Structure 1
Amino acid sequence: METTEDLLLDGRVRLVQPKTGYRAAVDPVLLAAGVPARAGERVVDLGCGAGAVFACLAGRVPGVEVIGVERDPAMADLARRTLAANGIAGRIETADLTALPATWEAGRIDHVAANPPYLPADRADPSPDAGRAAAGVEAGSDLADWIAVARRCLRHKGTVTLVHRADRLDDILAALARGFGSVVVFPLFPKAGRDAGRVLVRAVRGGRAPLRLAPGLVLHAEDGAYTDQADAVLRGAPLDL
């Protein structure tokens, strides 16, 4: 696999990723910005790929410990290289998340981040590129499986944060109804006045607060440039969900 080493968060983070096929865009950066981790806490990145989410999180919050889970051995190797390139404390598990035993990190994790495949197989037109297809289409596990793994490994009052398509929000909320509460939905608008295409969703294991719909973030100005708020996040600012 040919790779490139790319810079994120205004050059503070190095990402080793495939030269062709699936490559990190803005979604993992936004996801990392929405995880409320603090130094010393443990974060699981489910389906970590080459490590864009955990690398951006560790770049913003030095001192976090990350655990990546990735089923593709080649991508898991890139994630380990990303760990090493940034000097991040943590490890990568090469495993399908549905194959993780029920005791895996049970109740020991402070936060889970996930960027699951966006579409079920019956709604998708898979890319001919295997990497893009694996990243975009559910295969062998669905949203409920991802959230169930998060629920098992999180401590009480730990958080799960996801980035996903806005039109999958009903599926996300249905899956979170088992064991989670204090849900925040944070829309990501491509431009002002446009429907949200993506959402960040955060929930608390054992939370009891009612669902909250946040104002969200407009990504692009009319001329196509990033808005000031979006640009700040892409440079390393946190998102206040």
Structure 2
Amino acid sequence: MPNFTNDYLLDKKIKIFQPVSGYRASSDAVILSSLIANIKSDDNILDVGSGTGGISLCLAHRFKQNQIVGFEIQEELVNLSNLSAKENGFENLTYYNCDIKEKNLPIKPCSFNHVISNPPYSKNDMPSPNKSKALAHNHSGQDLTSWINFCLKMLKPFGYLYLINRAEAVSETLTALYNKAGNIQIVPIYSKENQVAKRVMIIAQKDSKTPAKILSPFYTHNQDGSYTDRAEKILRQGMSFFD
């Protein structure tokens, strides 16, 4: 197991173990996790490309009655994630070391009510010199379309997919979802007002034919650099995005 640090999420409500160098959870993980809300007690959730577990740990904290699974290709991150789950007492959370290209995955397709993911960056991006980050940003060489297809494959009919990605990936994302999912909701994320949105969150429902819509923008910071009230409540208190 690599050298790791003891960090916290949600204002120290969750302990997370992360490698000293390499891929580490960011505020994006917490913000994306807040999209899932009002789920049924028997719903289950899959975190694809779970990294150090930032997304799924937040979900396990909020939905203690629901089964949550993480898929991650980097064995050292899986080991740290399972250690984090144990440290927090999340018996409903399990991580698997697997490549989404594998044929014999531990979970069958069409098994999940909700699939959530911070997908890899475009294959055209400049790779990170850090091997862990480079692999996280281009998970086993998977392009975004293949990644989204896998996520949809794991969803039950009319299940929900939740993604966060850079704004320039919107076109490729919508193309990958075309004729496979509907009820698409797009949330542009702005660091501050009067700036260009660099990230977006997208919700899509498998097999739905409901038209897409663009929701109100989400601002993470005030002009003075402090978090907005809404961002503060999501990042510190674990508030649902739609509260």
Indicate conservation of the 8 Å contact 2:162/2:203, yes or no: yes
Task: Quote the Cα distance in structure 2 between the aligned partners of 1:17 and 1:51.
Answer: 9
Can you give the 5+ residue segments of structure 1 that lack an aligned partner in the other structure?
none
TM-score normalised per structure 2: 0.92
Q: Secondary structure at the match of 1:168?
A: helix
Task: Quote the Cα distance in structure 1 between the aligned partners of 2:9 and 2:112.
Answer: 26
Q: Secondary structure at the match of 1:151?
A: helix
Task: Quote the Cα distance in structure 1 between the aligned partners of 2:14 and 2:51.
Answer: 16
Question: How many pairs align?
Answer: 239
* Matched AA of 1:48: S
Which residue of 2 is the match for residue 90 of structure 1?
93
Which residue of 2 is the match for residue 222 of structure 1?
223
Of 70, 73, 98, 1:71 maps to 73
Task: Quote the Cα distance in structure 1 between the aligned partners of 2:93 and 2:22.
Answer: 26
Q: Secondary structure at the match of 1:74?
A: helix
Q: Secondary structure at the match of 2:141?
A: coil
Which residue of 2 is the match for residue 107 of structure 1?
110
Which residue of 2 is the match for residue 55 of structure 1?
57
Moved more, 25-34 or 80-89: 80-89
Which residue of 2 is the match for residue 135 of structure 1?
136
Task: Quote the Cα distance in structure 2 between the aligned partners of 1:127 and 1:14.
Answer: 27
How much is the aligned-residue C-alpha RMSD, in angstroms?
1.8
**Cα deviations by residue, 1:122-166 (Å, 9 ceiling, x for unpaired):** 2x2222111121222354211112211222221111100001001
Runs (4+) off by over 4 Å: 100-103
Task: Quote the Cα distance in structure 2 between the aligned partners of 1:46 and 1:38.
Answer: 21
Can you give the 5+ residue segments of structure 2 that lack an aligned partner in the other structure?
none
Task: Quote the Cα distance in structure 1 between the aligned partners of 2:56 and 2:122.
Answer: 23
Task: Quote the Cα distance in structure 1 between the aligned partners of 2:183 and 2:103.
Answer: 26
**Cα deviations by residue, 1:171-203 (Å, 9 ceiling, x for unpaired):** 000111142110000111010111111111010
**Cα deviations by residue, 1:106-126 (Å, 9 ceiling, x for unpaired):** 222110000111232x2x222
Identity among equivalent pairs (%): 29
